[in-house]
Amino acid sequence: MRQLALLGLVFAALFFVPFVVTSEAWQNTILMTLYAALLGQAWNILGGYGGQFSFGHAAFFGTGAYTVAVLQVQLGVNPWIGLVAGGLMAVAVAAFIGFTTFRYGLRGSYFALVTLAFAEVLRILANTVPFTGAGVGILIPLDQSAANLQFASKASYYWLVWAIALAAFLTVWWIGHSRFGARLMAVRDNEDAARALGVDPFAVKMRAIMLSGLFSGLAGVFYAQYFLYLDPAIAYGPAISVESLLVPIVGGMGTLFGPLLGAVALHGVSEASRALIGDLPGISLVLYGTILILMVLFAPRGLAGLVRRLSARRNSRETTNV
Amino acid sequence: MSETAQSDTMLRVEGVSKSFGGLQASKDISMSVPRGKITSLIGPNGAGKTTLFALITGFHKPDAGKVSFFGEDITGMAPQDIALRGMIRTFQIVQPFAGQSVRENIAVGAHLHIRSRDAALAKAEEVARKVGLGDRLDMDAAALTVAGRKRLEVARALATDPKLILFDEVLAGLNPSEIRDVIPVIRAIRDEGVTILLIEHVMQAVMSLSEHTWVLNQGELIAQGPPAEVVGDPLVIEAYLGKGMAERIARQRMTAGGAHA
């Protein structure tokens, strides 16, 4: 309950950010941070809570993004419907990938490689079929109106991503407090022991990958509507997959606030590096790699784990002082 | 006569065989577990006891034979489906959900029939007290001692409200005083109406707990009966100690009996 109250407080505060921060550049930074937290939280459902490390979350992200874009451009479907359709298509792709991998018990690096391969296959497909615009990409015509899911102000986009992120964070809170979540974590920590206690690992993992795919897909829809342009490398390229897993790994896998902490840390670092070093191409990737190695070496439970460890140490010091 | 025998039998194993490559781990094993009792399965290392447990609970599929639980054929069913029917196994090599608290570990078992998180956690607490883990509820399961982890295995199984529990060496690795603590816990589980089949090396426990025991050697059942009788069976002695030992012990006993009596 305390966790839910804290979550409510954080998101309430986040809601008012556009009123306080009026600079468009800063609004954009905060928006992209929240968007990264959303991507990370989506991955966290399957990777952090389920222990299934996907290297191909771009498969879900890109499917969501392309669904809303293609429906609009090729078929004239309203993007609000596209938002729902994008989420559902991502769920369908997740179900397909989940079925083909979990059915055959793929785990660990095998699962990671297969998900990576699926994302790459989708990237190549998007590069060849005509209705995605192939290699040229797809441009969503500018037509700013709320009915069209395009906004003139950064703030409105910010509230859109805020709402999706809130849904993702609430879902993860629920996972931490439900039978489904208990079973998911049991499967993560010891599949055989879980089965002996009546848990069906396949069913549990399928639900996890579909939920994970849903929020990744919604993040993709948001991306498409915000930037109004997609090409196969953006939608299905490895950059999205890497960002999706980097954020929760840095922040703390399998924790509710980990992806938020990770997103803040990573965007903080990349902003700081831009200010200090300038816009050197690829520098943020070098920094990300360095951070990843440092985190894995010194704080394998991420920033959330670090915070918990420090507060535990302080508590024990206080009790020994008393 | 056969009808009453039928209704008293909870688990029936008929002609079960399993081989791994060239190794025949189980050879044509038939046994039946009566309802409401503690029975045990003993045998030297590598006799195939754990394999038999795995065959019964669905972790391995038998090459031949049939396993039935309450008259229902469960051969080749998935472990989780067998667990749902009320048969739960524990693991010889303890398998805690590391990183989760004792309470959360046990709650996974409780969730088998309880949907609500709060109810499952409450049930976990109740079961933890029953097996003597009440004071370690919030401890990380990975931080438990060996004895604590064994209790956790018992608690998780118990939290599922099982009809039959298969304990795989819950006493192995415990010191004598810990064993003395755990034996009443197992007996109390039986007294609540749960049937128990245990694999055990600690003979003290087998003798004091079980009413009937099966002896497995090299994948075959070689003896069965009340434990006190079975341990005197020459076949059993030879299985444990080697060929000719039964004769030698008998001879020694005769001469020793003559000297001391």
Give the span between the Cα atoms of B205 and B216, in whole angstroms: 17
How far A170 CA lies from chain B's nearest CA (Å)? 16
Total Cβ atoms within 10 A of residue B132: 17
CA distances from A229 to A73, A234, A262, B28, B113 (A): 11, 9, 27, 67, 49
> Could you tell me if residue A310 is inside a domain?
no
Residue B188 Cα to chain centre, angstroms: 15
- Cβ of B80 within 8 Å of Cβ of A185? The answer is no
- Cβ of B117 within 8 Å of Cβ of A192? The answer is no
Query: Which of A177, A178, A193 lies at the smallest CB-CB distance from B95?
Result: A193
Burial class (CB in 10 A: 0-12, 13-18, 19+), B44: middle
> Could you tell me if residue A200 is inside a domain?
yes
Fold classification of B2-230 is: Rossmann fold (3.40.50)
- The token pair at A94 is 């997740």
> Could you tell me if residue A297 is inside a domain?
no
| Number of domains observed in the structure of chain A | 1
SS3 for B87? strand
Burial class (CB in 10 A: 0-12, 13-18, 19+), A102: buried
How far B87 CA lies from chain A's nearest CA (Å)? 9
Domain limits for position A224: 2-238
Which of B112, B117, B156 to probe by mutation at the A interface, max A CB count within 10 Å?
A: B117
Give the span between the Cα atoms of A201 and A223, in whole angstroms: 33
For residue range B28-42, list pLDDT tens digits in order.
Answer: 999 999 999 999 999
**DSSP secondary structure code for residue A148 in this structure:** G
pLDDT-above-90 percentage for chain A: 71
Candidates A233, A228, A223, A234; CA nearest to A140 is A228
Whether A88 and chain B come into contact, CB under 8 Å, resolves to no
Task: Identify residue A158 by its one-letter amino acid code.
Answer: Y
Half-sphere exposure (Cβ direction) of A191: Cα atoms closer than 13 Å = 16
Q: State residue A309's pLDDT score.
A: 81
- The token pair at B162 is 């099982």
Q: State residue B7's pLDDT score.
A: 59
- Cβ of B117 within 8 Å of Cβ of A178? The answer is yes
Q: State residue A251's pLDDT score.
A: 92
Give the span between the Cα atoms of B202 and B173, in whole angstroms: 10
> Could you tell me if residue A72 is inside a domain?
yes
Which residues from A are below 8 Å from B143, CB to CB? none
> Could you tell me if residue A248 is inside a domain?
no
Give the span between the Cα atoms of A53 and A46, in whole angstroms: 7
Query: Which of A195, A197, A201 lies at the smallest CB-CB distance from B109?
Result: A197
What secondary structure does DSSP assign to A16-60, as a single string?
A: THHHH---HHHHHHHHHHHHHHHHHHHHHHHHTTT----S-THHH
- Domain residue spans in chain B? 2-230
Return the minimum-mean-pLDDT range out of A1-10, A247-256, B165-174, B230-239. B230-239
If you average pLDDT over residues B220-232, what whole number do you get? 90
**What confidence tier does B1 reach under pLDDT thresholds 50, 70, 90?**
very low
- Cβ of A200 within 8 Å of Cβ of B157? The answer is no
Cα-only R_g, chain B: 19
How far B52 CA lies from chain A's nearest CA (Å)? 15
ipTM of the complex: 0.87
How far A13 CA lies from chain B's nearest CA (Å)? 29
**What confidence tier does A317 reach under pLDDT thresholds 50, 70, 90?**
low
If you average pLDDT over residues A149-160, what whole number do you get? 92
> Could you tell me if residue A306 is inside a domain?
no
- Cβ of B83 within 8 Å of Cβ of A198? The answer is yes
For residue range B158-167, list pLDDT tens digits in order.
Answer: 999 999 999 9
Give the span between the Cα atoms of B100 and B89, in whole angstroms: 20
Most distant pair of Cα atoms in chain B: their distance: 68
- The token pair at A290 is 């360095």
Total Cβ atoms within 10 A of residue A222: 27
Instruction: Tell whether the model's pLDDT for residue A322 goes beyond 50.
Output: no
Q: State residue A320's pLDDT score.
A: 54
Q: State residue A319's pLDDT score.
A: 57
Instruction: Tell whether the model's pLDDT for residue B3 goes beyond 50.
Output: no
Query: Which of A178, A189, A193 lies at the smallest CB-CB distance from B99?
Result: A189
- Cβ of B96 within 8 Å of Cβ of A178? The answer is no
**What confidence tier does B251 reach under pLDDT thresholds 50, 70, 90?**
confident
| ∠ CA B102-B113-B149, rounded to 5° | 25
For residue range A257-286, list pLDDT tens digits in order.
Answer: 999 999 999 888 888 887 787 777 777 778
- Cβ of B107 within 8 Å of Cβ of A182? The answer is yes
Q: State residue A321's pLDDT score.
A: 52
Residue B187 Cα to chain centre, angstroms: 13
- What residues contact residue A51 under an 8 Å CB cut-off, 6+ apart? A187, A188, A189
If you average pLDDT over residues A74-78, what whole number do you get? 92
CA distances from A120 to A55, A62, A67, A113, A235 (A): 10, 11, 17, 11, 11
Q: State residue A51's pLDDT score.
A: 94
Instruction: Tell whether the model's pLDDT for residue A83 goes beyond 70.
Output: yes
If you average pLDDT over residues B63-72, what whole number do you get? 95
For residue range A176-191, list pLDDT tens digits in order.
Answer: 999 999 999 999 999 9
| ∠ CA B146-B39-B18, rounded to 5° | 85
Half-sphere exposure (Cβ direction) of A82: Cα atoms closer than 13 Å = 29
